[in-house]
Amino acid sequence: MDTLDLVIRNGTVLDGSGGAPQLLDVAVRDGVIVEVGDVAGTGREEIDARGQLVTPGFIDVHTHYDGQATWESRLVPSTNHGVTTVVMGNCGVGFAPCEPEQRDMLIKLMEGVEDIPNVVLSEGVDWQWTSYPEYLDFLGRRRFDADICSYVPHAALRTYVMGERAFHREPATAAEIEKMAAHLEEAIRAGAFGFGTSQTMFHRSSDGQLTPTLAATEEEYAGLTAALDRAGAGLVQFVIEYSDGWEQVLDMGLRQAKAFRRPFSMSVVQSHGNPKIWRTILNKFDAFNADGGEATMQILPRPLGVLMGLELTLNPFYSTPTYLSMADLPLTDRVRELRKPEIKARILTETNDPAPTMQIGTRVRDFGQLYEMGEGFDYEPSQESSIGAQAERLGVTPESLVYDKLLDKDGRNILYLAFSNYAGFSLEPAREMLLNDHAVPGLGDGGAHLGVICDGSIYTHLLTHWGRDRTQGERLPLPYLIHLMTRRCAQMMGLQDRGLIAPGYRADLNVIDLDNLGLDLPRVVRDLPAGGRRLMQDARGYTATIVDGVVVTRDGRHTGALPGRLVRGAQPAPPAPTAAHV
C-alpha cells in the first residue's frame, strides 16, 4: 500500500450510523477514508486518539454565512465546534439573486432579521454577481475551513423579480411566479440545495418592514416547489411562528412538498405562549413521513434565547431615554456613567421603547427567564437561579439587581434570556423532539444574530450536556447524538458522500477528548468589516477537526489550512468499498 496521508490510531470510533463504539484506526488518502480497522500502513501524519472519540465531521444545517462567506474564509463560530459542512440561505434571507439597485433592501432585511450591522454588510459584501448561479460561481472560487451548501433565499428571489413591490408585500402575479420559478430552477441546476423561506412576523427589515415572503401565496409556493420538481432536486426550508393561522401555514407547506415530491424541513421549538403546539407538529411530521413524505424537524437542543449585556444589542434598559443618551459612548465611559447612583435611579423609573424594531425587545424584562452566565454555565438552568428568583430572595426589585449585574466584569457581564424551548424550566420537550426519527439539530444560526445569539456552539453542547453532564433528566446515548449531528443531517441534505466513517466516504472527521470537552463563555470580538462586533464562543477538547483529509484545527487552534469548498447540489454515495471495513 502506498503511504497514507493520515492515520488516526487507537480511537473510540463512533461511525455516525448510531452503532456501538469500536476501538479502530482510520486511514485517509486523497481526502477519502480508505481503511477502518487495524491499519498496517504508515501515514504522513498520524494522530494518536487513544482514550478519545473519533467521529464524522458535524453538519450544521441552519446557518447564515451568506455574507460572511464572501469576505471571510473561516466559518466561525460553527467551525470552532467540529463542524465540517455548513448550510446557509435559511429563513429566506440572503444576497442573491440581486440587481444593483436592490442591494440596500436586502442588506436592511438581513440587518433586521439576523442582527448583522448594515455597515458590516455594506463594506464586506463584494457583490460580484447578479444571478444566483453567478453568486455560486463567486463562492466556488473561494476556499474555507468547511464545505458550504446554500439554499436560494426566497426574499431575495422575490425582490429580484418584483422589485420594491416585494417589500410592499403585494401578491405576485402569475407571470412573476413563473419568472421566480425559472430563476429558481436555474439556481438548482447550478448547485443550490433548494429554497429557504419565512412565514413569521418576527422577521423584519431594520426599518421595520415585514419580510417580503410573508405575502407569498400558496400559488407562489406551488410555483417554486414545482420548479424543484422540474429540476429533480432541492429541499423546501420553512420557518413559521406559532400565532393564529400557524397550522394552515404548515399544512400548506407540507401539502406542496407532497404534491411535488420534494423534501421539507422546518425549525420546531416549544413556544412559551403555546407550550404544547410542538406535540401537534411532531404528530403532523410523523403522519406525513408515514404517508411516504420526507419531512425533517430542526431542533435546538437548548433554550432559544438571546444574550444581553452592555456590549451587546440588547439589555433590560437598552431603549430607555437615559440609556439611549449614552448608548454610543465607549464601554468604559458608559460604565462610569451607569455607576452613578443618580443615573441608576433615573433609569429604573423609565420604560423601554414600546414598539422596538427588534420584536424580542419587548421581552427583555422577563426576569423569571433571565439568567446570569458564569463559568460552566448550565444551559438547563434552574428556576431558582433566575434573576427574578434571586431578587425575591434578596428583597430587591429585579430591575435593580439586573442593573448591578450588568456592571459586573467592568460592564462585560452577559445575561441569558430564554424565550422559547424552556416553558417549564426543563429541556424535556427538547429531549423528546430530539428522539424523533425525523429530527436533526438545528437553529445554530452561525453567521447571524451577531449581537444577541451565539448558538453555533450547539454541537459541543449536545456532547457535553446531553451526552455527559445533564442532571435534570435522562441523557442521550453518545452514538445517537453523533448520528444526529452527522449521518442524519447528511441524509436530510442529500449529502450521501459524508456523515459516516467507512471506506469511500469523505474524510471529514473529528478527534474529541470528551473528558475535557467544554464550552468557554461567549465573548465579544471586533473582527468584522468596518470593525464590526460579534459574539464568539470557543470550545476546549477538540484535538483535531479534519476537512477533506486535511487538519483544519488542532487543539482548538486553526492550522491555516482551507480545504473547504462550495458543494453544488446533492452528492451520491461512494461506490462499494474494496478495502476492509470492520
Q: Is the pLDDT of residue 578 over 60?
A: no
Instruction: Give domain status of residue 570, yes or no.
Output: no
Amino acid letter, 295: A
Query: How many Å from the N-terminal Cα to the C-terminal Cα in the chain?
Result: 18
Contact 155, 198 (CB under 8 A): yes
User: pLDDT category, 448, cuts 50, 70, 90?
Assistant: confident
User: Cα(157)–Cα(176) distance, rounded to whole angstroms?
Assistant: 11
Specify whether 167 is located in the same domain as 243: yes
Give the pTM: 0.95
> Which residue is associated with the grid cell 452561525?
446
User: Cα(481)–Cα(461) distance, rounded to whole angstroms?
Assistant: 11
Contact 196, 207 (CB under 8 A): no
List of residues 6+ apart from 30 with CB closer than 8 A: 5, 549
Instruction: Give domain status of residue 489, yes or no.
Output: yes
Specify whether 71 is located in the same domain as 183: yes
Kindly state the average pLDDT of the residues 451-471.
Answer: 94
Provide the pLDDT for residue 206.
Answer: 66
The residue ranking higher by pLDDT, 117 or 492, is: 492
Provide the pLDDT for residue 204.
Answer: 65
Specify whether 355 is located in the same domain as 330: yes
DSSP code string of 390-445: HHHHHTS-HHHHHHHHHTHHHHT--EEEEEES-TTSSSHHHHHHHTSTTEEE----
Q: Is the pLDDT of residue 234 over 50?
A: yes
Contact 476, 433 (CB under 8 A): no
Instruction: Give domain status of residue 472, yes or no.
Output: yes
Class of residue 394 by CB neighbours under 10 A (exposed 0-12, middle 13-18, buried 19+): exposed
Contact 549, 96 (CB under 8 A): no
Specify whether 382 is located in the same domain as 341: yes
Kindly state the average pLDDT of the residues 78-86.
Answer: 97
Provide the pLDDT for residue 579.
Answer: 46
Specify whether 454 is located in the same domain as 376: no
Specify whether 162 is located in the same domain as 188: yes
The residue ranking higher by pLDDT, 245 or 48, is: 48
Kindly state the average pLDDT of the residues 263-268.
Answer: 96
CATH number at 466 reads 3.20.20.140
Contact 180, 223 (CB under 8 A): yes
Provide the pLDDT for residue 581.
Answer: 43
Q: Is the pLDDT of residue 106 over 70?
A: yes
Query: What's the whole-number average pLDDT of the chain?
Result: 93
Q: How many residues does the chain have?
A: 582
Structure confidence by residue, pLDDT tens digits, 422-447: 999 999 999 999 999 999 999 898 88
Q: Is the pLDDT of residue 531 over 60?
A: yes
The pLDDT > 90 percentage for the chain reads 83
Can you tell me whether residue 295 is helix, strand or coil?
strand
Segment holding 547, helix H or strand E: strand 542-547
Beta bridge pairs of residue 33: 28
User: pLDDT category, 231, cuts 50, 70, 90?
Assistant: very high
Specify whether 313 is located in the same domain as 278: no
Specify whether 108 is located in the same domain as 236: yes
Kindly state the average pLDDT of the residues 498-505.
Answer: 98
Kindly state the average pLDDT of the residues 157-167.
Answer: 94
Contact 197, 214 (CB under 8 A): no
Provide the pLDDT for residue 56.
Answer: 98
Q: Is the pLDDT of residue 580 over 50?
A: no
H helices of 502-546, in order, are none
Q: Is the pLDDT of residue 118 over 80?
A: no
The residue ranking higher by pLDDT, 128 or 244, is: 128
CA of 46: how far to CAs of 1, 5, 10, in Å? Answer: 16, 9, 11
Specify whether 135 is located in the same domain as 228: yes
Instruction: Give domain status of residue 20, yes or no.
Output: no
What does DSSP assign to residue 102? G
The cell for 234 is: 432541492
Q: State the sign of the Cα–Cα–Cα–Cα dihedral 461, 464, 467, 471.
A: negative
The cell for 449 is: 444574530
Class of residue 319 by CB neighbours under 10 A (exposed 0-12, middle 13-18, buried 19+): buried
Instruction: Give domain status of residue 581, yes or no.
Output: no
Structure confidence by residue, pLDDT tens digits, 90-103: 999 999 999 999 99
In terms of Cα–Cα distance, which of 103, 55, 63 is closest to 454? 63
- Which has the minimum average pLDDT: 155-164, 286-295, 524-533? 524-533
- Examine the fold and report which residue of 428, 463, 493 is the final residue of a domain before the chain moves on: 493
Instruction: Give domain status of residue 451, yes or no.
Output: yes
- Examine the fold and report which residue of 449, 471, 493 is the final residue of a domain before the chain moves on: 493
Q: Is the pLDDT of residue 5 over 50?
A: yes
CA atoms within 13 A on the CB side of 373: 21
In terms of Cα–Cα distance, which of 10, 70, 1, 76 is closest to 38? 10
- Examine the fold and report which residue of 420, 451, 471 is the final residue of a domain before the chain moves on: 420
DSSP code string of 58-76: EEE-SB-TTTHHHH-S--T
CA of 102: how far to CAs of 99, 130, 168, 555, in Å? Answer: 5, 10, 14, 43
What does DSSP assign to residue 184? H
User: pLDDT category, 532, cuts 50, 70, 90?
Assistant: confident
Specify whether 118 is located in the same domain as 261: yes
> Which residue is associated with the grid cell 467544554?
518
Specify whether 282 is located in the same domain as 143: yes
* Residue ranges making up the domain that contains 186: 59-302+438-493
Segment holding 298, helix H or strand E: strand 295-299
Q: What angle do CA 294, 295, 300 make, to 5 degrees?
A: 150
List of residues 6+ apart from 20 with CB closer than 8 A: 479
Q: How many domains are there within the chain? A: 2
Q: Is the pLDDT of residue 331 over 90?
A: yes
Segment holding 53, helix H or strand E: strand 53-56
In terms of Cα–Cα distance, which of 38, 31, 32 is closest to 13? 38
Specify whether 191 is located in the same domain as 317: no
Provide the pLDDT for residue 577.
Answer: 62
CA of 501: how far to CAs of 85, 569, 582, in Å? Answer: 15, 22, 11
Beta bridge pairs of residue 152: 195
Instruction: Give domain status of residue 499, yes or no.
Output: no
Instruction: Give domain status of residue 41, yes or no.
Output: no
Contact 156, 127 (CB under 8 A): no
Q: Is the pLDDT of residue 289 over 80?
A: yes
Structure confidence by residue, pLDDT tens digits, 356-412: 555 566 789 999 999 999 989 999 999 999 999 999 999 999 999 999 999 999 999
Kindly state the average pLDDT of the residues 125-141.
Answer: 96
User: pLDDT category, 201, cuts 50, 70, 90?
Assistant: low
Residue 330, preceding bond cis, omega within 30 degrees?
no
The cell for 435 is: 428522539
